[in-house]
């Protein structure tokens, strides 16, 4: 039997582990087997006396030897004047003496693997008598042996080996073209690369991956060069680069070969590259330290770093467009004099380098529409035209070589997105009632820098612009030509009709994720217009050869990046599109940014044809899926992008994009009850429920990002599939949107339900489900799993042991069945990275206990380990859900039993999971495990008391809550925190159920009485379930009894624990990297300061209750004015004004609730870089879009961690002359 085989294997397995650990611990380390990179990230004076300082130091520790250094291991740190450890991160300080600190790293994951296979990050805040010049460690030892020590360097501001220019001419324009320094026509094929605008103080993404390809800035620049780009647009915030302290970018990393770099930017399957194909070289590569990334990047100030980045790019033959992101930096409105001073200062700093002075371009205001600016002064705000002219006047005096990029604005009647809007035709302006740029252009015509000006609109397809017309074909061509296209051919003419000037054109931003069906044809037609080919050649404009793609960044929320979520893999459909307008990667032998010729981007004919972007009518290419039986079936009309897989860090689930994710799911049954397809498709006459695709779009629109699929192995292999083909009329998009919109809710302007990322390739008109496979139930399950995953849903495959007892009666067959199913499912790329496995759904209902029983039933612990041993090698990215068992004395229902306290187990004589967890901690897949307790309401458990608030919290903490904070600790001292993902549900109709669920939600949010020190907030969960069911059979669904209507009471309640339906606004456009929670003691400052800037947007529509509705933008700048301690993340921020009603959007603050409770807005700041250092060393910016009942929306009080802060009003003065009605604008979201 399986039980005996497993039990027989354990002694030998444990002996092997014991031998490995003993061998590792007994190793003798020779000198320099270990290496340490030390970096001082902050340094400040203490108020305790003269020559008393504190320093924050990071240590990156690796093992270069051939044997393992097993945790726990000792560490000794020596430094001048070191006296006391104030705080330790990831290690314990055990003793200190003058100049020497000793401690132990004992966490299980801190074992140092041989050959520098991993790096352990330790941190400390140390008290010292040393000043900043020699505060770094002088020696570090591991296990009693000295390590090689590298102190990260801070280099000067100017990179060495600057590129040389052919000719000394300034950048300029002539005849509608940009002219390079060599006097030839220059085509700018560029990419946006942000990070200096979002608080990161460096371009984003240097946190991703493990080697130079993603971690090293210079290597990424080389990859951009090899892909064919010759220009980079750098979005920035003046507040960030002048006022924010630089965050360290230095880190250990694995080196890569030149061939690996080339392979990373070579079109997949490209085999016809000539053997003598030249490989472009960097003109001025960085001086790198082996095994260390970015140690050459300056860390003295952010402004010096930004200048260095610009100069490094220009030294490597890139042109750089400096872009002040008005949507993230309102300096021009808050402090105009500062803005007009900072621009020439920045340009002057950069221009000290002779090469950079000839290769920089200025985009003065990004998308002025975002602040509702007009060409001329209006609504108490300055005119964008006046701002452009003033900035150009100031900058031109500093460097007459620069080009000025002018974006459009104020023409939303004609333009489809922000940054467009440059129409100068009087009749068209009058027709649409739009802002008039003619006064600006008339003044510009008399300026000395006229030939330095480039017209630079932004153009996006429908998924970004939300355009419903004129986004493709002749409508698009006419709109583009009217807005700005004619300016590079007919030009702009003064009223005399004889004085005209042709402006060069550049598209400052365009991009798409290519996941919306409308985007592909729109972008194909846009390319025709740019290149003046086909029907895009209207005879009214010249071709446009200057285009900047948004963005390189994988964390661009709506367009995604040129790199995928792993920051490594190229999205080749985007390179395809750029190639259609002139981009030529290194292997095309057409374009080399290292060439001295500025016109080389269009000089040669491509030696081969790249695939065109998919244009097969619906916007997607057709993927053929091979079923397990070997037959082909056309399935889903999209090509899924490959992504990184799921994993966990401490108690956090990490998604496919490498960023922390809360999985919010819903159970959809049908493959476990003989239906052979999801329930509900034949239970209503409405196509809202009849059509599978429509149901998926409704699930996505309500904000779910995961679907749990209960199944029975018996159903998959023993039943014939029923037919679900029905005659039906599919709902319109408007009808579908109405069905998933909470009645009484007014959706934000310009938003609509999400489109499917993928649609069925074969749909017979007038029918539903014609695309579903009918050959076998297994193939149908694989089809729907692939469909869900390709539409960006995580998928849980859950073996319903109530319907299928294979696990109990034939465990060996059960394991083999799981292995076969996972092999088949993982053959689909989208599924492989989004798969979650619930191997035993509700072990109690199969009569299982953690340990094997005398009646012959195997232990659930043994079964889980055997299944994971078999499955993990097949798909290492899959997550495993583990459910509790047989501890009903300590739980409210089955599935909750994770009690590991031996005293409690002995007292109750209940099932013991300790052997399972001890074994699990030794497994490589322990980071793939999520604990998934089942929490049922009183209507299911029959509880009459103790089901809410304090009694409930005590029970939940004892059963499983401790696992995501204290974690499970093995007897040898190794501990691991596990993510929790409970399965919950209730009809929400009885008083007791509502009390219990409200109390549970407080526990999950860790708010109110649910905020205890025993557990952390729980952001991932699964609701049971989607379709309705009788209460006796289970909790009722999100759908009511008609299988169509949404139960809005449930949805409204679920929004309090993280569900975000389509009509709710996202909190930010940009995402931040995942951060590892640091095991540390919170250190709080004793005083804080907050300055705020309030900009009133006006009075919006009256609320449904008849109350006035005032709107405002609030920016808070936080600082820690204490002298002796930082305010460590995460910290709580509260903002108080009795007029506050809610927040429609936040940036930098994770809101506890989008509504203001008694006028108080509460949230937390949690990203590692937002620690507030003493003596106001740095500041952190948080912004909110507020709603209120009165015009006074300035904060009356701000608190950090319950500490009342000193408030300073830094609002712009004189810009709000009364409240104006909100104007309708069209946002591109970028």
pLDDT of 1019 reads 92
Burial class, 659, CB count within 10 angstroms (exposed 0-12 / middle 13-18 / buried 19+): middle
Among 101-105, 600-604, 840-844, 907-911, the least confident range: 600-604
Which of 986, 982, 1027, 988 has the alpha carbon at shortest distance from 1005? 982
Give the domain ranges of the chain: 31-151, 186-269+279-602, 662-741+772-1057, 1088-1209
Peptide bond into 303 cis (omega under 30): no
Residue carrying the six token digits 């996972």 = 822
Q: What is the mean pLDDT of residues 104-112?
A: 78
The greatest distance separating any two alpha carbons of the chain, rounded to the nearest whole angstrom, comes to: 102
Average pLDDT (1162-1166) is 87
Confidence check: pLDDT of 240 > 80: yes
52-61, 618-627, 814-823, 981-990: least confidently modelled range: 618-627
Mean pLDDT of 899-904: 89
Under the banding of pLDDT at 50, 70 and 90, the label for residue 442 is: very high
- What confidence score (pLDDT) does residue 828 get? 93
In the block, which residue shows the tokens 């004395």?
889
Q: What is the model's pLDDT at position 634?
A: 29
pLDDT, position 1221:
32
Token pair of 470, please?
């004129």
Confidence of residue 1218 (pLDDT cuts 50, 70, 90): very low
Q: What percent of the chain has pLDDT over 70?
A: 85
CA atoms within 13 A on the CB side of 476: 26
- Does 603 have pLDDT greater than 50? no
As a whole number, mean pLDDT of residues 1209-1213 equals 70
pLDDT tens string 1097-1155: 567 666 666 677 888 888 888 988 887 677 887 889 999 999 999 888 787 888 888 78
Q: Which residue has the tokens 């309705």?
A: 1028
Q: Tell me, which fold does domain 186-269+279-602 have in CATH?
A: TIM Barrel (3.20.20)
**Predicted confidence band of residue 258 (pLDDT cuts 50, 70, 90):** confident
For 695, the token pair is 């149901």
Name residues whose C-beta falls within 8 Å of residue 90's C-beta, 6 or more positions apart in sequence.
Answer: 105, 107, 110, 120, 121, 122, 123, 1078, 1079
The position carrying tokens 């009605």 is 1221
pLDDT at 331: 95
pLDDT at 48: 58
Q: What is the DSSP string of 726-746?
A: EE--PPPHHHHHHHTS-TT--
Question: What pLDDT, on the 0 to 100 scale, is given for residue 107?
Answer: 73
* CA–CA dist 623, 786 (Å, integer): 11
Among 131-135, 206-210, 556-560, the range scoring the smallest mean pLDDT is 131-135
Supply 1208's token pair: 């300073």
The whole-number average pLDDT for the span 392-421 is 92
- When pLDDT is cut at 50, 70 and 90, the band that residue 974 belongs to is low
360/353 Cα distance (integer angstroms): 11
Q: What is the pLDDT of residue 159?
A: 33
pLDDT tens sequence across 290-334: 789 999 999 999 999 999 999 999 999 999 999 999 989 999 999
Q: Which tops the pLDDT comparison, 343 or 1179?
A: 343
**Residue 750: its pLDDT value, please?**
67
Q: Which two tokens stand for residue 192?
A: 């946006």
pLDDT tens per residue, range 738-760? 999 998 787 766 678 988 988 88
Across 18-22, 296-300, 316-320, 849-853, least confident range: 18-22
pLDDT tens digits along 508-542 = 999 999 999 999 999 999 999 999 988 999 999 99
Q: How far is CA 5 from the centre of its chain?
A: 45
CATH number for the domain whose boundaries are 31-151: 2.60.40.290
Higher pLDDT, 271 or 642: 271
H or E element in which residue 1021 lies = strand 1021-1023
Residue 812 has pLDDT above 70, yes or no: yes
Query: Does position 636 have pLDDT exceeding 60, yes or no?
Result: no
pLDDT reported for residue 1124? 67
Structure confidence at residue 790 as a pLDDT band (50, 70, 90): very high
Amino acid 1123: pLDDT: 73
pLDDT of residue 909: 86
Tell me the average pLDDT of the chain: 82
Whether the predicted pLDDT of 1215 surpasses 60:
no
Higher pLDDT, 432 or 289: 432
**Which among 220, 289, 206, 308 has a CA at the least distance from the CA of 248?**
206
- pLDDT bucket at 97, cuts 50 / 70 / 90: confident
Q: Which CATH class is domain 662-741+772-1057?
A: alpha beta
**Mean pLDDT across the stretch 64-75?**
87
The pLDDT of residue 448 is above 90: yes
pLDDT digits 0-9 by tens, 504-515:
999 999 999 999
Do 1088-1209 and 186-269+279-602 have the same topology in CATH? no
Helices (H), 287-446: 302-315, 331-334, 336-351, 354-357, 384-398, 426-432, 438-444
Whether residue 19 is predicted with pLDDT greater than 80 in this model: the reply is no
Asked whether the predicted pLDDT for residue 952 surpasses 90, the reply is: no
Phi/psi for 639 (5° steps) reads: -110, 115
Residues 157-188: pLDDT tens digits?
A: 223 333 444 446 789 999 899 999 888 889 99
Mean pLDDT (whole number) for 881-890: 88
The per-residue pLDDT for range 1058-1081, each reduced to its tens digit, is 898 988 754 323 333 333 232 232
What pLDDT, on the 0 to 100 scale, is given for residue 548?
98
Q: How far is CA 1085 from CA 55, 1080, 1124, 1125, in A?
A: 15, 16, 7, 5
CATH number of 1088-1209: 2.60.40.290
Question: How, if at all, do strands 53-63 and 34-45 pair?
Answer: antiparallel
Q: What is the pLDDT of residues 955-972, one digit of tens each?
A: 899 889 899 888 898 755
Percent over 90 (pLDDT), the chain: 48
């Amino acid at each position: 039997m399986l039980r005996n085989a497993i039990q027989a294997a354990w002694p030998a397995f444990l002996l092997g582990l014991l031998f490995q650990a003993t061998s590792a611990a007994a190793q003798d380390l020779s000198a320099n087997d270990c290496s340490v990179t030390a970096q001082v990230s902050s340094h400040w004076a203490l108020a305790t006396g003269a020559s008393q300082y504190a320093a924050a130091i990071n240590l990156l520790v690796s093992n270069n030897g051939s044997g393992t250094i097993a945790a726990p291991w000792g560490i000794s740190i020596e430094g001048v004047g070191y006296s006391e450890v104030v705080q330790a991160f990831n290690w314990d300080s055990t003793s200190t003496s003058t100049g020497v600190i000793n401690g132990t790293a004992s966490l299980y994951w801190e074992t140092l693997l041989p050959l520098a296979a991993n790096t352990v990050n330790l941190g400390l805040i140390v008290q010292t008598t040393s000043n900043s010049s020699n505060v770094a460690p002088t020696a570090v030892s591991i296990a009693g042996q000295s390590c090689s020590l590298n102190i990260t360097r801070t280099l000067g501001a100017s990179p060495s080996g600057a590129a040389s220019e052919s000719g000394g001419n300034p950048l300029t324009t002539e005849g509608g073209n940009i002219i390079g320094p060599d006097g030839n026509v220059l085509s700018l094929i560029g990419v946006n690369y942000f990070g200096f605008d979002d608080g990161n103080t460096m371009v984003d993404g240097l946190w991703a991956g493990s080697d130079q390809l993603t971690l090293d800035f210079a290597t990424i620049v080389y990859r951009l060069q090899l892909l064919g780009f010759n220009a980079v647009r750098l979005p920035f915030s003046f507040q960030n680069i002048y006022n924010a302290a630089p965050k360290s970018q230095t880190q250990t990393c694995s080196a890569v070969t030149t061939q690996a770099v080339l392979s990373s930017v070579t079109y997949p399957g490209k085999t016809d590259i000539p053997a003598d194909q030249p490989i472009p070289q960097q003109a001025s590569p960085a001086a790198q330290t082996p095994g260390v990334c970015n140690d050459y990047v300056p860390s003295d100030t952010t402004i010096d770093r930004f200048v260095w980045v610009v100069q490094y790019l220009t030294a490597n033959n890139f042109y750089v467009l400096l872009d002040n992101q008005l949507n993230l930096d309102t300096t021009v409105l808050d402090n105009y004099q500062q803005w007009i001073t900072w621009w020439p200062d920045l340009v002057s700093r950069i221009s000290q380098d002779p090469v950079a002075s000839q290769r920089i371009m200025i985009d003065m205001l990004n998308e002025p529409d975002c602040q509702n600016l007009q060409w001329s002064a209006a609504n108490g705000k300055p005119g964008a035209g006046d701002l452009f002219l003033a900035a150009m006047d100031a900058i031109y005096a500093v460097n007459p070589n620069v080009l000025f990029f002018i974006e459009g604005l104020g023409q939303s009647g004609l333009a489809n997105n922000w940054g467009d809007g440059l129409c100068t035709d009087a009749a068209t302006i009058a027709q649409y009632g739009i802002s008039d740029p003619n006064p600006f252009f008339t003044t510009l015509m008399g300026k000395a820098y006229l030939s330095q000006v480039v017209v630079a609109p932004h153009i996006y397809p429908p998924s970004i612009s939300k355009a419903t017309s004129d986004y493709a074909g002749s409508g698009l061509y006419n709109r583009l030509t009217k807005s700005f296209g004619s300016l590079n051919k007919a030009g702009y003419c003064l009223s005399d009709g004889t004085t005209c000037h042709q402006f060069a054109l550049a598209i400052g931003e365009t991009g798409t994720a290519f996941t919306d069906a409308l985007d592909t044809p729109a972008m194909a037609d846009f390319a025709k217009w740019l290149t003046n080919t086909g029907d895009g050649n209207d005879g009214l404009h010249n071709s446009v050869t200057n285009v900047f793609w948004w963005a390189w960044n994988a964390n661009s929320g709506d367009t995604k990046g040129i790199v995928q979520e792993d920051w490594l893999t190229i999205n080749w459909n985007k390179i395809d599109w750029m190639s259609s307008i002139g981009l030529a990667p290194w292997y095309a032998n057409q374009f080399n940014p290292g060439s001295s010729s500025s016109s080389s981007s269009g000089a040669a004919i491509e030696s081969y044809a790249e695939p065109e972007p998919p244009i097969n009518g619906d916007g997607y290419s057709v993927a053929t899926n091979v079923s397990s039986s070997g037959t082909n079936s056309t399935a889903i009309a999209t090509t899924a992008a490959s992504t990184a897989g799921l994993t966990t860090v401490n108690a956090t689930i990490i998604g496919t994009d490498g960023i922390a994710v809360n999985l919010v799911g819903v159970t959809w049954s049908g493959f476990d009850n003989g239906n052979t397809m999801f329930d509900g498709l034949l239970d209503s006459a409405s196509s809202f429920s009849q059509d599978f695709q429509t149901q998926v779009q409704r699930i996505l629109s309500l904000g779910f990002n995961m679907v749990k699929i209960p199944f029975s192995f018996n159903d998959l292999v023993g039943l014939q599939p029923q037919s679900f083909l029905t005659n039906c009329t599919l709902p319109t998009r408007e009808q579908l949107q109405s069905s998933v919109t909470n009645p009484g809710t007014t959706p934000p302007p310009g938003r609509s339900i999400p489109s499917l990322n993928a649609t069925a390739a074969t749909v017979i008109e007038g029918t539903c489900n014609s695309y579903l496979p009918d050959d076998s139930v297994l193939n149908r399950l694989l089809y729907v799993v692939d469909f869900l995953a390709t539409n960006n849903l995580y998928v849980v495959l859950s073996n319903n042991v109530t319907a299928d007892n294979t696990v109990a009666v034939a465990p060996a067959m059960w394991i083999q069945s799981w292995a076969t199913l996972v092999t088949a499912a993982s053959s689909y790329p989208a599924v492989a990275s989004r798969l979650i496995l619930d191997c035993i759904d509700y072990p109690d209902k199969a009569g299982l206990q953690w340990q094997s029983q005398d009646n012959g039933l195997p232990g659930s612990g043994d079964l889980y380990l055997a299944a994971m041993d078999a499955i993990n090698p097949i798909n290492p990215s899959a997550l495993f859900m583990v459910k509790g068992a047989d501890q009903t004395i300590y739980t409210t229902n089955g599935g909750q039993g994770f009690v590991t306290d031996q005293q409690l187990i002995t007292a109750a004589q209940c099932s013991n999971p300790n052997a399972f967890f001890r074994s699990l901690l030794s497994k490589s897949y322990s980071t793939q495990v999520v604990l998934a307790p089942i929490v049922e309401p009183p209507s299911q458990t029959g509880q009459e008391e103790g089901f809410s608030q304090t009694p409930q919290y005590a029970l939940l903490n004892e059963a499983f809550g401790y696992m995501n904070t204290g974690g499970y600790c093995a007897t040898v001292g190794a501990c691991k925190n596990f993510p929790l993902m409970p399965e919950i549900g209730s009809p929400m109709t009885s008083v007791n159920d509502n009390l219990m669920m409200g109390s549970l939600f407080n526990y999950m949010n860790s708010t109110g009485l649910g905020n205890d020190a025993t557990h952390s907030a729980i952001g991932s969960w699964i609701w049971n379930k989607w379709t309705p069911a009788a209460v006796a059979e289970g909790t009722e669904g999100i759908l009511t009894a008609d299988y169509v209507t949404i139960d809005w009471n449930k949805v409204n309640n679920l929004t309090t624990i993280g569900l975000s339906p389509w009509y709710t606004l996202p909190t930010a456009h940009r995402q931040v990297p995942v951060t590892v929670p640091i095991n540390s003691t919170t250190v709080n400052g004793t005083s804080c300061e907050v300055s705020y800037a309030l900009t009133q947007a006006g009075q919006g529509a009256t609320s449904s209750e008849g109350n006035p509705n005032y709107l405002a933008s609030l920016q808070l700048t936080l600082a820690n004015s204490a002298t002796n301690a930082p305010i460590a993340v995460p910290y709580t921020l509260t903002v108080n004004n009795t007029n506050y009603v809610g927040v429609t959007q936040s940036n930098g603050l994770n809101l506890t609730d989008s509504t203001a409770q008694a006028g108080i807005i509460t949230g937390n700041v949690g990203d590692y870089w937002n620690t507030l250092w003493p003596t106001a060393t740095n500041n952190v910016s948080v912004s909110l879009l507020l709603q209120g009942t009165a015009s006074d929306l300035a904060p009356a009080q701000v608190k950090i961690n319950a500490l009342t802060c000193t408030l300073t009003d830094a609002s712009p003065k004189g810009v709000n002359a009364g409240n104006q009605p909100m104007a309708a604008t069209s946002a591109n979201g970028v």
